Amino acid sequence: MRKITIKDVARNAGVSIAAVSYVLNGKENKVSQDTIARIHESIKDLNYIPNMTARGLVKNTSELIGVIIPQTEDHKQLVFENPFYSEMISAIEGVVRDYGYHIILAGVDKGKTYLDISTSRNLDGAIIMGIYSEQLYEECKLANIPIVLIDSYVHDNDFAKVGIDDELGGYLATKHLIDNGHRNIGLVTGMIRKDGVVEKRFLGYKRALQEAGLFYNSDYVFENSVSYVHGRNSGSLIASKFPEITAIFATADMVAFGVIRGIKESGKEVPGDVSVIGFDDISMANIFLPPLTTVKQQISLKGETAAKLLIEQIRNKRGVKNQGDRTEIPLEVVERETVRKLTK
């Protein structure tokens, strides 16, 4: 079937091609109300779909926003396997769609450039998750488009940032276990990188131990990837080799799910033998069995906030004041059924 063009719309409506172009590009003041009505009726009759790329060239905008997730793990699929990201992306997409924008989702491999994405797609702006202070970050400045960073501890005032106090989150999770009588507490986490989210949660874990006068044992830190598989392997190892550990802080809910599975496969129970607290409060946390005690970070609110900040920058042509400010989303511990209170 032949593709319907703007010429077909004009011929069917009995108007000029220029009139159709005015209507499609928001310049309806240049034509009469009768002409506008005829053009819209023609578009409906012919089921015409405007060429967004061509409209973007005319308006000097693509109406596209990039949502970019650096692949910091060696296993490339880890990011997209984690429901945390789907909840975040869904929140972002809902906001930008309300403003007439569309998103392009991209995972950038380690060693690749962000510039390739922004220039080849002619993005109006971008949201980047979990970027570290390295060469790729410097390249973001060269893209010359509004950018909002999520979960970044890069110390730079060029970009607006949205995140949480991850150090506080790690502290709250560990303190919750301590307040419930636990003294030997394991940490199951992703790779601890300088100025990264995981490092902040790790530092919060250490602070809570120190504040309670508890010894920090590096053997109790199980560091690998933010994945269910790592959690499962660590849960099995702890249950079989570290009987003194009575509680575990997993720095992401997906890791916590794996930890619980590994513990159960080793013949022990949660929370009967080992307590577990997660981090994120993804939607699965409440329906998991047993329901997961976790640190809630309001994932959707974080995504919505970042999207609104970016739209504001785009609409104001990057003239937003205090662009380098960091917006922090509040945290809270959600108690469910995976932490048991120890009695003396």
Domains of the chain: 6-59 (1.10.260.40), 62-344 (3.40.50.2300)
- Kindly calculate the radius of gyration of the chain based on its CA atoms and give it in whole angstroms: 25
**Residue 68: predicted pLDDT:** 84
Tell which residue, 200, 89, 105, 192, has the closest CA to residue 152: 200
Tokens read off for 201 = 């949660």
Q: How far is Cα 169 from Cα 251, in angstroms, rounded to an integer?
A: 9
Cα separation values, 133 from 123, 140, 260, 328, Å: 23, 11, 34, 19
What is the Cα–Cα distance from 214 to 337, expressed in whole angstroms?
Answer: 25
Alpha carbons 52 and 44: distance in angstroms, whole number = 17
Question: Number of H helices and number of E strands within the chain?
Answer: 13, 12
DSSP H helices, the chain, are 6-13, 17-24, 33-46, 52-59, 78-81, 83-98, 115-120, 135-142, 166-179, 197-211, 228-241, 253-265, 299-315
Question: For the chain, how many residues are written?
Answer: 344
| Residue in this structure with the two tokens 């110390």, named with its chain if needed | 155
pLDDT at residue 321, as a whole number: 45
- pLDDT at res. 140: 66
Q: Name the β-bridge partners of 19.
A: none
Q: Which residues of the chain have pLDDT under 50?
A: 57, 119-120, 318-322
**Is 176 in contact with 333 (CB distance < 8 Å)?**
yes
pLDDT of residue 160: 87
The Cα–Cα gap between 263 and 270 comes to 7
Question: Considering the entire predicted model, what is its pTM?
Answer: 0.80
